Structure 1
């Protein structure tokens, strides 16, 4: 590459023996991507179509699954193209866009999980006031904030990143994440401060809020009847599973990149994929199997006139 091309394009150097296993990689990840689209969109369709699922809890679940579809679509098509290409490169502008969307949608996931935790808290701890608190307007405000707040913050961070001069043009990952900071000629203090601020208010604060609300729910359930405890388990357990998995993977990705820790290439590839594999792939199955109303409609959808036998 000549100098101008180096300035324009970045090399994605996180692939492992892609020339040898390109078709295996391509077919595997194509299957995964199709499965993510089909499973998530099926549950979203049911929540949109069935009137008995037009409740705040299910609306938030649909938003969470839609968020997973957007996150996957931001990564998988480019990843599939790279598997079939002789060189794995991406333009600097496209890399900034991909990295911005990853953290925008990743932050939105935490905020959506926080709204779901609040919804469960009101439902279980203040059932008599649930209808007056969780009105349609409240739900719309929560959903708008979950996407707009990270979007505004990430736009500012991306603007600062776009102004930085690059002295390196090789990323050690298969997609653009905050490892792009390692390409800058000079470490930007402004980017570090803004990044920490965003991490605090769209990841750490929501997680603390979620832990607090579920602690309150557990205390209430401990003093309540077995029926209340069973209801809480059915509605809260899926959220806790999703949160614990996503938080661990997200923090691994943020911390290891920031610390510039050198993992073996294969280990780095595997861990990088977890963030865009586990939750988008397993969320619809977790909610589809654990949430009784959704499970009931899934059975009817796929079994139709054989519902009784299924």
Structure 2
């Protein structure tokens, strides 16, 4: 019966195959993922710390960047350590509860990041295209409301999407040919018709991927027009450099997730799906601090002041 199938499902763990069929590649990836994770934690923690401690960075842009860094830090921590542990084990088993927690948390954080990136592009549009009205447009209350909307929408979509997925009976199937527990991969294990789940996933993907990325591209279209009107060649070059690097992150992040979530569940190439997931769970969370802030003069200045300030204080003591 369906009830007994669900009971069996909840007791079994999952075999997370990952790259176990390519031992040499798995060893290389273990080192790469470990290095990326450490840099990720250091980079995002630095941004959160500097943005909170330096009063000059208490602006809408850095408020959203702090949110983004916190999401990236939690997202990569939700995936990378578990992946490293599984890679280091021979049996590759991940507990059922561990998989469910990873499923809910990663889906919630990923959805939140999609909205935050769209909100950040609107903030950049207001700063570049409406500089005189920027303070009025991006007031404190609006910033809090936009951030709350991003977090709440991520939470709601995760609760709906993941709850529907874990209720699917698997009939003893527990081998995940993937690097982590994700909705499309778990839908594949179901031994019943999953048309409704796939349709629901498609609708959620359109809302959280296609709509935000469209808004981002429109915002950057207006920003590009505003930049072209800048008379100074140096100013134009600087603005284009900043915007193009932001767009690279957006394209990599949304492009890889769209590949994973917006094509039919059955059509995904196994190895492609694994590498694609590595990009938006391990690579992009590191690119965000590098591109958005560590190249930024304000952050560098704040970091220098923080480090030198502390060293000067210790010298005085």
Indicate the larger mover: 124-133 or 296-305. Answer: 296-305
Q: Displacement of 1:249 after TM fit?
A: 1.3
Within 2, Cα distance between the matches of 1:89 and 1:6?
14
Match of 2:221 in 1: 215
CA shift in 2, pair 1:216/1:191, >3 Å:
same
The correspondence of residues 220-239 of structure 1 with structure 2, limited to 5 A, is: 220-226=226-232, 229=236, 232-233=239-240, 235-239=242-246
Match of 1:288 in 2: 293
RMSD: 2.8
How many residues are aligned here? Answer: 302
Q: Output one character per residue of 1:153-189: Cα deviation in whole Å (capped at 9) or x when no partner.
A: 2201122122211132111102111211001111333
Match of 2:33 in 1: 29
TM-score by length of 1: 0.86
Q: Displacement of 1:89 after TM fit?
A: 1.6
TM-score by length of 2: 0.85
Asked whether 1:123 is paired with 2:127, we answer yes
Runs of 4+ with deviation above 6 angstroms: 18-24, 303-306
Q: Displacement of 1:280 after TM fit?
A: 1.5
2:199 is paired with a residue whose SS is helix
Within 2, Cα distance between the matches of 1:138 and 1:58?
14
CA shift in 2, pair 1:105/1:257, >3 Å:
farther
Q: Displacement of 1:270 after TM fit?
A: 3.4
Q: Output one character per residue of 1:238-264: Cα deviation in whole Å (capped at 9) or x when no partner.
A: 32121011111112222467243334x
1:277 is paired with a residue whose SS is helix
Q: Displacement of 1:135 after TM fit?
A: 1.0
Match of 1:114 in 2: 118
Q: Displacement of 1:100 after TM fit?
A: 2.7
Gaps of 5+ in 1: none
Name which of 43, 64, 81 aligns with 2:68.
64
Q: Output one character per residue of 1:194-241: Cα deviation in whole Å (capped at 9) or x when no partner.
A: 212211111111111111111112122223433763564365333212
Match of 1:96 in 2: 100
Gaps of 5+ in 2: 1-6, 313-317
Match of 1:189 in 2: 195
